[in-house]
Structure 1
Amino acid sequence: MTLLLDRQGQLQITEDVVKAAAENGKYGKDIMALLLAEHRDQLLIIEDVIRAAARNNWKSGVDIIQLLLARRGEQIQITEDIASMLVRRYDKNLIALLLDLQRGGQIQITEDVLKAAAGNKGCGTDIITLLLHKEGDQILITEDVVKAAAEDFQSK
């Protein structure tokens, strides 16, 4: 990959290239790191890139999302759909990083996000606890959220 990028001259790195790196389960993190290092000003990290990384296998997805958040977290717009996908699929460590880098207030913790967190079979309780701790006074707990938590509750 380095060899190709070194020879590419003024080639534009498109969204499709960045998404392909995000979807690469074996070398995605390395390719993404290279793209970020070599083409930082060209890369636009949009919702589809985060979605592609989130669909990746668990370990690679975490690594790529953490890399993107660490290097470009302040520029990444996390929509309700992406927040729901992340809290449903990943652990509290990634969600804590996301909240810290996004300075909390940029991510709306909606009813759907809380229901998605409740549906996280492995870490739902931890993620809801984290969300309430970080954003508690801004979160509205509805009957549907309580119902989702009751349906998916995992005793520790």
Structure 2
Amino acid sequence: MLKKFLVAAAMLIASTMSSMANEYGTPDEAKAMAEKAAAHIQSAGLDQAIKDFMTPGGDWHDRDLYVFVFAPDGVTLAHGAKASLVGRNLMKLRDVDGKFLTKMIVEVADKGWVDYKWQNPKTNAVEPKTSYVIKVGDKSVGVGAYKR
């Protein structure tokens, strides 16, 4: 009887952990979405892509993954989690550790990862995040995953 209980408890814990893992995006998923977003900008054009990226609940929002786009001067062109940031120059924005996160994102040469801390839209907590950034023309398009 105890053995059956322990097996059932272990299965429940494994199932809960598996569903929790699926609740958040991974760095691999963030990179894939960033690559897809860069291709979308090239095929649909920047203006249409920005509209698509900003559509709440659309194809460009997956759990805590969303697309952001910055102009070379740090002006936010799209931000899937905080529409209020669009049009704002965030070049001097620092994360809680003092890192100039937008500056780091804009300065990524072509493709690369940027690590910083940012508010998770699912938990509202400031958490470590890694974002994959791709240059499309002079724009920086990226998607980040919160580190777990």
Report the TM-score when normalising by structure 2.
Answer: 0.29
Higher relative contact order (CA 8 A, sep 6+): 2
In proportion to residue count, which structure has more helix?
1
Larger Rg computed on CA atoms: 2
Normalised to the residue count of structure 1, the TM-score between the two structures is 0.28
Structure having the larger proportion of residues in strand: 2
